[in-house]
Structures are given as C-alpha cells and as structure tokens.
Amino acid sequence: MEALIVLLPGDGIGPEVIAGARRVLERVAGRFGHRFDFREEMIGGGAIDAVGEPLPESAIVSCKAADAVLLGAVGGPKWSDPNAKIRPEQGLLELRSTLGVYANIRPVTIYPELAGASPLKPEILAGVDLLVVRELTGGIYFGEKSRDDRSASDLCTYTVEEIERIVRVAARTASKRRGKLCSVDKANVLETSRLWRDVTDRLVASEFPGIELETLLVDAAAMHLLSRPAEFDVIVTENMFGDILTDEASMLAGSLGMLPSASIGDGKAGLYEPIHGSAPDIAGAGLANPCAAIASAAMLLRHSLGLDAEAAAVEKAIADAVGDGARTADIAAEGETPLSTAAMTDEIIRRLS
C-alpha cells in the first residue's frame, strides 16, 4: 500500500525518537512491500522560535492531508515561562482538536523482563494488561479560560455527545479484550462527572449489555491502579484525569519510555505519540528510549493503515529486543551497559521479520 505519514519530531528528545521510529517504518515498508512517503513539519517550541507559532499553517495542512501523523514531543524550559502568551503545548492541543482525534488510547503493556524496572512489587504487577481510553478534545483542557490580577478560571464542560462517543470507543475496545470497563470520574463533587456517569451507565446498559461496568472515583482509581492493577482491563475517563492516571500507570511498565499512544477520531487519520515528554535534560545526548515512539508507529500501522501483521511484527521485535536484554538507560539495571537511542533502534530493526 501507499501512505503519506507526516512526522512532527518537535522538541527535546522528540527528533531522536522519531528518527528511530522512521527507520523502523522504512524497514517495514521494505519488508512488506509498501510505500510510505514521509513529510516532516514543525511543532512546539522549535516552531515558535522559527516562525512565531507552535503549529504553523503548513503543518496543519500536511497533517490534514496525511494518512497518519507521528509526533515526538513538545515543550522545554526555554518556552515554559508561565506568563508566556505562546506556549509549545498549545500547538499539540490545537492539533488534537483540529484533527478531531477525541479518543486517546494508551495501552499499558508489561514486558516481564522489565518487572525489576518498576518500583512496584513483581507480585502486584503479575498479569497487568490494561488500556486507558482518555477523552482528548474536551473538558477542562479546552474550556474557556480567564485571568485577571486577582483570579483565574478554567471551565470544564462536557456534552452528552462527547461522553457517548468516547464511551463507545472504550466499550468497543473492551468487548474485544476481557469485557471489563471501568469508568473513572469525580461524581461526588463535579457536575460534569455526574453527567459522565449517567451517560456511561445508560449507554453501556443499552448498547453493550455484555460488558461488565465498574465505576470509580478518580482518587480511589489512583490508589487501585497501584494496589490491584491486574484487575483492570479498559479504563475510560475524561481528559484531565486520563492525563494524570496514564503517567501513574506508566510506572507499572517501569518507564515512561516504553508506552505508546494512539489518538483517533471518526475519520481515518490518526495522531500517534509516545506518552513521554520532551525530556530536555537528556535531549541530544542519544540516551532516549525509542521504544515508546516505535510502539506508537506500530499503533499507526494498525489503526490508520490497517496493517495488523506489520504492527504485530514491530511489537514482537520490541518485545524480543527487550527480552534479549537490549536496554536504554531508563530501563537498564545496575551494572548493565545501556544502549544509545540509535543502537536500541538497531536491535529492534534486526529482529523485525
């Protein structure tokens, strides 16, 4: 098949991990007889420096025309003045919103060989296989904001339609897995959460009677994720709670550097990004873990291009490399010599059959 893939390397370690993911995609194209055309565009702090805005028009045009978009990371200390009018993160939020990718899918896969990299006990981690479906284009992230000398406000709004469509994605996903859905809200305090709970209960009962639905308050969910993570299958939640809970869940896998994400909407184009940030402290040093970006490329192959076998081959290559002891610094145990970003990528490519 032929596909146009737009690459948005962004800031910090973004360019390094995206270079690795691109090499993997090129190898997939060669192995499986596809033609992928790549177009690189700017986003984030680098784009602010170059053209004065975090998401230039040309990037928007390219992303809308693409079959899929693969993004590295945005942000860094250079652009993080809280009073700045223009911030790198605005580019990412505008992109998600413009592409209409309201469902952010964040699978948490545990590589058994990395159990030692997690701060949690191995017996708590045994059998963990969960996936968070985070609402991505609504809620407090996108509500009206105001600020004056004495106060500030961020409005959190959800409509019935926004809740229904994300819960449908989550319930459909759960029905292809272990059939368990956990909806996370703060219905004891927030009106938006009470609506979220009503809509979820009604929709799951009427459209997905085979799904086992559990409801948790977000504070309790944060605790249960650490005390009984293996019991979760699919978790669905609003934008802000999903942001926080997925950073927490990444510690189950041992490193933020392992976890990919896919953001999809009703159209075919999707946005794929590692869940980690730009890690400015190690940027440019060749130390970053490319696994999350490469696993995001696998999700791209599956969700936007429909290439299931190719996606599975990439995921197996990552698992095999890790299984054979390939480690970047974030997942290396004491005494192990860590690989560079490029060398880790080579180990994965070598195992891609």
User: Any catalytic annotation for residue 243?
Assistant: yes
Rounded to whole angstroms, the Cα distance separating 76 from 54 reads 13
The one catalytic residue among 129, 154, 201, 247: 247
One symbol per residue from 6 to 45: x for binding ligand IPM (CB under 6 A), - otherwise; what is it?
----------------------------------------
Binding residues among 257-316 for ligand IPM as defined by CB under 6 A: 275
Which option in ligand IPM, Mg ion, none does residue 92 bind, with CB closer than 5 to 8 A by kind? ligand IPM
CA 343 vs CA 12, 24, 260, 323, 349: distances in Å: 19, 12, 20, 16, 10
Give the residue with the Cβ less far from ligand IPM, 265 or 351: 265
The one catalytic residue among 37, 198, 219, 281: 219
Binding residues among 189-218 for ligand IPM as defined by CB under 6 A: none
User: Any catalytic annotation for residue 78?
Assistant: no
With CB atoms as reference, the residue minimizing the distance to ligand IPM is 89
Near ligand IPM by CB under 6 A: residue from 92, 133, 169, 204: 92
The one catalytic residue among 67, 185, 243, 330: 243
Rounded to whole angstroms, the Cα distance separating 290 from 326 reads 12
User: Any catalytic annotation for residue 148?
Assistant: no
Helix axes 57-65, 88-99, angle to 10 degrees: 30
Token pair for 124:
């708590």
Near ligand IPM by CB under 6 A: residue from 19, 32, 38, 89: 89
Residues in touch with ligand IPM (CB under 6 A) = 75, 89, 92, 243, 275
- Give me the active site residues, please: 141, 186, 219, 243, 247
